[in-house]
Structure 1
C-alpha cells in the first residue's frame, strides 16, 4: 500500500496500514494441515515420491514409500496440487486453517484402457487377430524404413542439443546445513516454473550447435560443431568424460529403431518388428491438426507390466505414409530401473518437402531419487531439436572423409551473442546463470577444500597444486613374499606442465627386506594433459617391483589393499626389472596405435623357480628378454570416463577390436630368446531386449618360437574374492600356459526379467546374472619341457605335484549364476568350475562379489 504525502490523510493511512498488518498477521498465523494418500487410479497401488505442493511457492513435500504425505504450512493458501510425471495433475481447494485428509487417485496421461470388452456378461480376451489397432501398427512397422531420415540419399540440418541437471526440492535443512552455508547465492537461482511441483536448482548445463550432413550410400554422418559450451569441473574430474557419461545416460533415441536406449537400459520400441507380441494397442481418437493433417491417436501398454517396456500415446498420420507425427511415452512403475522415479519421452516430427516426416525434436526428462524418502533428488532433461531440414542435396565424396565429428577449437570460445542467435530455445532465467554460478563456486576456498577431500576419498589422490600424492589404497598391503608392504607415490598435474608428466613411487617389503620403486615420464605432443583424448604421447619408465604371473586386473592397482586377501596358495611371484618406451597415437575416430620397446629381467620369487635339470642347483636365477611391440585398436563410437588411474569404458553397442604383436629379439641388451606373439581380442555388447544384454569377449593368440613357460601365454587367473569379467575366477595363478589358444566369455544381465515376475522379489529390484567362460588351447611339442631338457620344468608344489599345466584335449570351463543390484550396487555370483577338477588345490565352487553402479 502506498502512503500519501498529504498530511490530512496521513493518520488515516497509518491506521488503515496498522489494521491491514494486524489482519494479515492473524491470517498468516493460521496453520493449515493436509494429510493423505496417493494411489494409481487404475492399478490401485500406492505411489511413492509424488510431489504435493502449493502452486507458485516452495511449500511442498513428497509421498513416502506407502504413498502417504503430510504437509503443514502457515498462510492464506487455499489450493493444493499433486503432480507426477506421466500423470494428470490433481488440484483441490483447501479450507484455510483446518486439518483435512485427502485420498488422491492419479490418472495417467496415457489412459490405461480396459483390457476387456463386456459382451453377454462374458469377458473377451485381447487379441491381435482382427484388431484394427494392431492392423494399423503393422502398417506403421511396414512403412518404418521409408519414414526414417535414412530413407533419403542425402539430408542436412542444423541441430541444437541441451543437457541440464538440477537438484530438485532442496530441503530447508540442507540449505542451512554447515556444508553449504557459504554457498547461499546458489539457492537464489531456483526455478519453480519449469516443472510443476518442483523447485529446481540448476547445477550442470551443456549446449551444442552443429550442422549435420547424412549420406545413405555408403552410409556416413558428418557433424560440424559450431558451438560447444558446458559447465566445467576440470580441476577435479574428467569434464570430457563426465559429459560423455551423462550423454550416454541421456543418449539419442529414435522410435523408429527396434530398441530405445534409455538410462543404459534397452526398451523395446512400440513400433519394433516384435512389438505386437509384447504390447497391446488401442485406437482412441481421430485428430485434425491446425495444418489440416489427420491423425489417429493410439494408446499402447505392455502386455506384462513387469517387463522393461514403455506405455503412452502415438499419433499416426493418415496420408498414406503411416508415419509417427508425435510420440509421448513413459515407463511402467513396475519396471526394474534404479534411481529413476519417473521419466517421460517425447518425440515430435515435422513434414518434409515430399510430405514425409522427420524428427524435429526429442526430449527425455527424468526425476532421479538418491534417497529413500523421496524428498530430494536430481532432475535431468536432454533436448535435441532440428531445423533447416534439407533433403537430397548431394555433397562431394571428399566432404564425408575423416572424423564423424569435427570440433574446431573456436567452437568452445564462441560469444554469448552467438548462443543467443543460434539456440533453438531460450534458456530459463535460472539456466542462464548456472555457468557463472558454478565458476564462482569453484573459486571459493571452502569449496575447493571440500572437493579435495572428496577426490582423496573417491579417486585416492591428494592434490598439492603441481603434484598429487596417491593412490591411498596402495599405501599399505601384504603378501606371502613381501609380508607387510608400505608404498608412497605421486605424480605431477597439468599445473606443473601440460606437456610433461612425471610419476614415481617407492615401496618396501618388511619380510623380504627389499626396496621397490618406479619412475617415469611422458611427453604430450598435443600440449594438453596426457589423459585428454585424443592422446599423442611418448613415455619412458623404469620399474623394479613384484608381480603375480597371470594376474590381470581391470581398473585396479595390483597392490590395492583389498586385493591382499586371496584364496588358496599364493606364493608364486616374480621380481621384475623393466625398462619401457612407448609411443601412443590416438585418432578422433577412436582408432589408435601403440608401438613400444621393453627390456624385461624377471627373477622368480617365493616357491616359484626356473629349473632346467633334475636338481634345484640347475635353476636359472633370471630370464632377460627384449621385445618390440605393436598394437592396433579400433573402437568406433567409443565412450569412456578418464579417471585418475584408468579409463573406465562406457559400454555401447559398438564392438572393440584390439590386435597386438610382440617380437622378442635374442642378443639385444642381454635378451636370451627369439619369439613372436600375436593376439586378437574382440569385445561386443549384445542387446537382447526385453531379456537384457550380454557382454561377449572373444580372444585368440599364438606364440611362435621355442621358449620356456614364463614366455608363453599365462592365462589370466583370479584368486581374489572380487568377480573379474575377463579373468577366470576359479583358476589358480600360473595354473595354465599355452602357445596357442582361443577363449570365449559371455556375461549376461537379465535386468530382472525373471525376478520381476516373482512377487516377493520384484519389490527388492534384484536382477539375475549368468556367465560362462571357455578356454581352449595347448602347448606344442617343441615347447613342452618333457621333450627338451633346455626348457624350464613346469612348477610343482612342495610334494612334487605339478601346479602348472597345458590345456589338453578338453577346454577349461567355468560358469556362474548370480544376483545383482543388491542395494543397487552389489553383485554376488556363485561360480562353478567344471573341468580339470583333479588339479591340486583347485576349488569346485566359489562366491565372488563385484560393485557396479547401474541404472
Structure 2
C-alpha cells in the first residue's frame, strides 16, 4: 500500500456539535508522571474511554453527565464532579493503592494471566470462534451503504489566517468537534456508495454490484476513493491479526492476545435483550502494533455484540496519529450475529505532535436487508458486465433519499454545497493543481499532460547529463485511447533520443487493447532477468545520478512493438506481440560484437532481431481503479504475481539475424507473517534454446547504483554474470520493528529491521560462448559451479523516510573487481 494516498489527501486540501458533555485532559500520578490506559467513564453509564500513552483522554456524549470516574489497577479510583458540560483541560491526579505490590503493577498496570475472569471470557470466545455470520449460510445477499469522508482537523486561528487559505476563509464557517479526539474539524470531502452484495459459500464466490455513487464537488476521484477502500479493507475482528496500512495488528480477540494485552472485566448489562459482559483491554508493551479499547460479548453464544479498537500513539506506524474502529452486530438468532455497522477513522498527519494539523479519513459502512439461501448459480457470478456504468454516478436526489442507510448530518450536507462553491475560487484551483502534480507527476493542461516531471534529469557515463521532456494525451481518467511520448538529450554524446507509444481500448468489458510504439534511446540491458518490451520505460541503472564505479556498458536500442492484449477474467492477462529491435554498443569501452562465420574471422557489431512473444500474467488480489485504457494499481506490492513468457526469434524476417526460442517464468508472493512483519519471496527461471549473441542472452541484473532495487543483485557489476539458462530467488523480510520495539531508547525511534537473501545459478553453452567476439568487456561468465548468493541486513524507517541496507557477498570473490561489501539506500513514504 503506498503513501501516495497521504500525498493525495494532504496536498488536495488542496456549528457547534450536538454533544451535551465534552471533557478532556490528562491523568497523572502524585509524582507528575503520566498514567496510560486509565479507564475513564461517565458515572452510572457504560460510556467511556481509556487514556493514551501520554495519559491524555477525551470523551463526549449526547447526554448530560455530572460526574466522571477514573480507575486503574494499582491506584485508588477517583470520582470527579463536572462543573461544566464542556471541560477540555482537566488534570487528574490518582493516588497509589496502599497495598500495591510493585512498581510494575503501579506504572504498567499488568493484569494477571491466571484467575482473571476477563481472560476466562476470552477463552470462551476462542472456543466459540465464529466467522462473519453470512458464512453460516449456503448463499447470502445484503445491501451495503458506504460513506467516506475527509476532514481537515485541528482548526485554529493560525490555520484559518494562513496564506494557503487566502480567498477561501468562508470554508471555516462550519466546523465541529470530533467525538474521539475532541479536535475541531472541517469536512472537506465526502463520497457515498450503495451496493448490492451477493455471495455463494458453496461456490466460494462473491459479487458486488454498484447501484449508486456520489461525491462532493469532484467528478474525478475514483483513485482517491479506491485508495481509501484499500487502506480500510475488509477485516474480521475474530482473526488473530488485522491488517491495515500494510501492517498486521494483533487483534484483542487473538489467541495470542494474552501475551500482548491486559484484560479487565469492567461491566455487565442487557443489550438488545441479551446479557453481555464488558471487557476493557490495553497493551502490555509500548511501540507494538496493538490496540486499546473494550468489547461487549454475549454470555451464552460468546459472540461479540460491540467492539471498539483504538491504536495507541506509540505504535510503530508512520503518518497516522489515530486509528479508531467501532463495530456493531445484531442477533439474527441465538447462534448467528451479523455485522450492521463498521466505522473506521484515521488521523493522517506528518507528525504525531498533539498540535499538528492533519486530515481525518473516515469510512462508515452499514449493512441491511440480509437475505439467505437464494441460489443464483455459477453463471451469475462469472458473467462480466461493463465495469463502468455512467448512470450509476448520476443518481438523483430521490435515489439517495431512498437508499441511504444513515442520513447525512448537517455538516455532511454542507460539504456538497461548500465544494461546489470552492470550484469557482482561483486560490483553491491553484492549491488543487499543486497537489495533483505532486501526486501524479504530471502538469495538467486541457487535453494534455506534461511530464512525468520526476524524470527530467539523469546521468550516465555515455550521455553525461541527460535532460528529458515528455507528455501524454489526457481528457479524463477513463480515456479509451492514449498517446504518450518523450524526447531526451545527452550533453556528453550530443544526441537526441525519443520514444512514442499509443494504445486503444477496443472492448472495456474484456479489456481488449491494441498498442504499439517506437523508441530510440540509450539503455542498460539486463536490468531485470524477465524480458520487457516497454517502449517508454527506462531502468534506474541507465540514469542514476550516483553509481559505484563507471558504467559504460550501455546499449543503443531502436525498438518497435505491436501488441494485442486481453483480460478474459479478472487479473488474468494474455498478451501477443511482435517486436523488431536493433542493438549496438553505446560506448567504445563495451562490445556486443559476435562472429558471423564458422571460422570466427568475421564479426558484426549490431544485432537486428524480430521476435514474436506470447505471455500470460495472473495477479490474484490486485486492485485497480479506472475503466479506460490506463488503470492505476492501488495496492502495489501487496498481491501475488505469476508471469509466463514464450518468445520466438524469427531469422530472416526484416533482416532478422537469429532463430531461437525463449521461455521464462516469474513468481512473486508477499506474505503477512502475523505479528512478525511481511515477507516477500520471488522465484524466477528461464532458458534460451538456440545460439544467440550477448545482446539476446539473459544478464543477471547487477546494481552499480547506491539505491536499493528489489530483484537486483547489489554487489554484482553489470554483465558480471551472463546466462542462457538460469534460476534465481530473492527473499526479503521486514520485521516492522518487532525486535527494536523491545530495546529501551531504541524503541522510541520506531526503526524497522529488514533482512534478505538472494541467489542465482545459471549456465551458458559453449556455442554461445564461442559466438561472442568480445575479449574484454564483457567476458561471458555464468554462475555454474555453484549458486551465487549474498545476504543483506537493513534498517528502515530512519526519520520515517530512509532505508539503509548493508550487503555481503557469499562467494565468487575471485571475480575481477568483485565487491564483497556494499551499502545501498532508498527513500520512500511508507506507513
- Work out the CA distance in 1 between the residues paired with 2:279 and 2:477: 61
In the other structure, the counterpart of 1:315 is: 296
CA displacement 1:33-57 (0-9 Å, x = unmatched): xxx9834679975499x9xxxxxxx
- Give the counterpart of 2:26 among 27, 38, 52: 38
In structure 2, the CA distance between the partners of 1:457 and 1:208, relative to structure 1 (3 Å rule), is: closer
In the other structure, the counterpart of 2:724 is: 739
- Work out the CA distance in 2 between the residues paired with 1:483 and 1:820: 32
In the other structure, the counterpart of 2:782 is: 806
Q: TM-score, normalised by structure 1?
A: 0.80
In the other structure, the counterpart of 2:266 is: 284
- Work out the CA distance in 1 between the residues paired with 2:284 and 2:56: 29
Question: 1:255: Cα distance to partner?
Answer: 0.8
Q: Do the aligned partners of 2:226 and 2:634 also contact (CA within 8 Å) in 1? A: no
In the other structure, the counterpart of 1:357 is: 337
The yes-or-no answer on 1:636 pairing with 2:620 is yes
In the other structure, the counterpart of 1:621 is: 605
In the other structure, the counterpart of 1:513 is: 494
- Work out the CA distance in 1 between the residues paired with 2:85 and 2:481: 70
- Give the counterpart of 1:578 among 559, 563, 568: 559
- Work out the CA distance in 1 between the residues paired with 2:150 and 2:384: 29
- Work out the CA distance in 2 between the residues paired with 1:106 and 1:585: 67
CA displacement 1:256-315 (0-9 Å, x = unmatched): 2232112332112233343344444443333222x3211222233344444322233232
- Work out the CA distance in 2 between the residues paired with 1:125 and 1:489: 60
The yes-or-no answer on 1:242 pairing with 2:196 is no
- Work out the CA distance in 2 between the residues paired with 1:158 and 1:774: 50
- Work out the CA distance in 1 between the residues paired with 2:302 and 2:441: 56
CA displacement 1:426-446 (0-9 Å, x = unmatched): 112221232343344344344
Q: Do the aligned partners of 2:145 and 2:405 also contact (CA within 8 Å) in 1? A: yes
Structure 1 stretch 219-228 or stretch 244-253: which is displaced more?
244-253
- Give the counterpart of 1:448 among 412, 415, 429: 429
Question: 1:724: Cα distance to partner?
Answer: 0.7
Classify the secondary structure of the residue corresponding to 2:177: coil
CA displacement 1:64-118 (0-9 Å, x = unmatched): 998899xxxxxxxxx99999xxxx999864899xxx99634699xxxxxx99899
Classify the secondary structure of the residue corresponding to 1:597: strand
In structure 2, the CA distance between the partners of 1:397 and 1:493, relative to structure 1 (3 Å rule), is: closer
In structure 2, the CA distance between the partners of 1:567 and 1:349, relative to structure 1 (3 Å rule), is: same
- Give the counterpart of 1:820 among 776, 796, 807: 796
Q: Do the aligned partners of 2:150 and 2:360 also contact (CA within 8 Å) in 1? A: yes
Question: 1:512: Cα distance to partner?
Answer: 2.5
Q: Do the aligned partners of 1:598 and 1:628 also contact (CA within 8 Å) in 2? A: yes
In structure 2, the CA distance between the partners of 1:669 and 1:82, relative to structure 1 (3 Å rule), is: farther
Question: 1:547: Cα distance to partner?
Answer: 0.5
Question: 1:334: Cα distance to partner?
Answer: 3.0
- Work out the CA distance in 2 between the residues paired with 1:741 and 1:749: 27
- Give the counterpart of 1:297 among 271, 278, 290: 278
The yes-or-no answer on 1:541 pairing with 2:523 is no
Classify the secondary structure of the residue corresponding to 2:544: helix
In structure 2, the CA distance between the partners of 1:663 and 1:262, relative to structure 1 (3 Å rule), is: same
Classify the secondary structure of the residue corresponding to 2:368: strand
Question: 1:249: Cα distance to partner?
Answer: 2.0
Question: 1:601: Cα distance to partner?
Answer: 0.6
In structure 2, the CA distance between the partners of 1:594 and 1:350, relative to structure 1 (3 Å rule), is: same
- Work out the CA distance in 2 between the residues paired with 1:185 and 1:695: 49
Q: Do the aligned partners of 1:608 and 1:795 also contact (CA within 8 Å) in 2? A: no
CA displacement 1:562-584 (0-9 Å, x = unmatched): 71321123011111111111223
The yes-or-no answer on 1:670 pairing with 2:652 is no
In the other structure, the counterpart of 1:103 is: 91
In structure 2, the CA distance between the partners of 1:227 and 1:520, relative to structure 1 (3 Å rule), is: same
In the other structure, the counterpart of 2:12 is: none
In the other structure, the counterpart of 1:347 is: 327
In the other structure, the counterpart of 1:74 is: none
- Give the counterpart of 1:325 among 271, 288, 305: 305
In the other structure, the counterpart of 2:195 is: 210
Q: Do the aligned partners of 1:404 and 1:589 also contact (CA within 8 Å) in 2? A: no
Question: 1:329: Cα distance to partner?
Answer: 2.0
Structure 1 stretch 818-827 or stretch 475-484: which is displaced more?
475-484
Question: 1:450: Cα distance to partner?
Answer: 3.7
Q: Do the aligned partners of 2:554 and 2:590 also contact (CA within 8 Å) in 1? A: yes
Larger RCO, structure (CA 8 Å, separation 6 or more): 2
Q: Do the aligned partners of 1:814 and 1:834 also contact (CA within 8 Å) in 2? A: yes
Question: 1:325: Cα distance to partner?
Answer: 1.5
Classify the secondary structure of the residue corresponding to 1:756: helix
After superposition, residues 494-509 of structure 1 pair within 5 angstroms as: 494=475, 498-509=479-490
- Give the counterpart of 1:713 among 650, 674, 698: 698
In the other structure, the counterpart of 1:198 is: 183
In structure 2, the CA distance between the partners of 1:755 and 1:570, relative to structure 1 (3 Å rule), is: same
Question: 1:207: Cα distance to partner?
Answer: 1.7
Classify the secondary structure of the residue corresponding to 1:805: coil
After superposition, residues 52-71 of structure 1 pair within 5 angstroms as: none
Question: 1:247: Cα distance to partner?
Answer: 1.7
Q: Do the aligned partners of 1:681 and 1:698 also contact (CA within 8 Å) in 2? A: yes
Question: 1:467: Cα distance to partner?
Answer: 2.3
The yes-or-no answer on 1:377 pairing with 2:358 is yes
- Give the counterpart of 1:252 among 234, 241, 260: 234
The yes-or-no answer on 1:224 pairing with 2:204 is no
Question: 1:126: Cα distance to partner?
Answer: 6.0
In structure 2, the CA distance between the partners of 1:770 and 1:559, relative to structure 1 (3 Å rule), is: closer
Gaps of 5+ in 1: 1-35, 51-62, 70-78, 108-113, 528-532
- Work out the CA distance in 1 between the residues paired with 2:729 and 2:298: 47
Q: Do the aligned partners of 2:480 and 2:629 also contact (CA within 8 Å) in 1? A: no
- What is the CA RMSD across the aligned residues, in angstroms? 4.1
Question: 1:774: Cα distance to partner?
Answer: 1.8
In the other structure, the counterpart of 2:44 is: none
In the other structure, the counterpart of 2:45 is: none
In the other structure, the counterpart of 2:61 is: none
After superposition, residues 547-566 of structure 1 pair within 5 angstroms as: 547-552=523-528, 557-558=538-539, 563-566=544-547
CA displacement 1:123-151 (0-9 Å, x = unmatched): 99966566554343233223224664312
In structure 2, the CA distance between the partners of 1:130 and 1:692, relative to structure 1 (3 Å rule), is: same
Q: Do the aligned partners of 1:149 and 1:155 also contact (CA within 8 Å) in 2? A: yes
CA displacement 1:6-51 (0-9 Å, x = unmatched): xxxxxxxxxxxxxxxxxxxxxxxxxxxxxx9834679975499x9x
Q: Do the aligned partners of 1:685 and 1:693 also contact (CA within 8 Å) in 2? A: yes
Classify the secondary structure of the residue corresponding to 1:734: coil
In the other structure, the counterpart of 1:10 is: none
Q: Do the aligned partners of 1:266 and 1:690 also contact (CA within 8 Å) in 2? A: yes
- Work out the CA distance in 1 between the residues paired with 2:260 and 2:405: 37
Q: Do the aligned partners of 2:594 and 2:774 also contact (CA within 8 Å) in 1? A: no
Q: In the comparison of the two structures, how many residue pairs are matched? A: 763
In the other structure, the counterpart of 2:549 is: 568
Q: Do the aligned partners of 1:166 and 1:204 also contact (CA within 8 Å) in 2? A: yes
Q: TM-score, normalised by structure 2?
A: 0.82
Question: 1:468: Cα distance to partner?
Answer: 2.8
Question: 1:227: Cα distance to partner?
Answer: 1.2
In structure 2, the CA distance between the partners of 1:38 and 1:138, relative to structure 1 (3 Å rule), is: closer
The yes-or-no answer on 1:604 pairing with 2:589 is no
- Work out the CA distance in 2 between the residues paired with 1:37 and 1:616: 85
Structure 1 stretch 612-621 or stretch 469-478: which is displaced more?
612-621
Question: 1:598: Cα distance to partner?
Answer: 0.5
In structure 2, the CA distance between the partners of 1:168 and 1:638, relative to structure 1 (3 Å rule), is: same
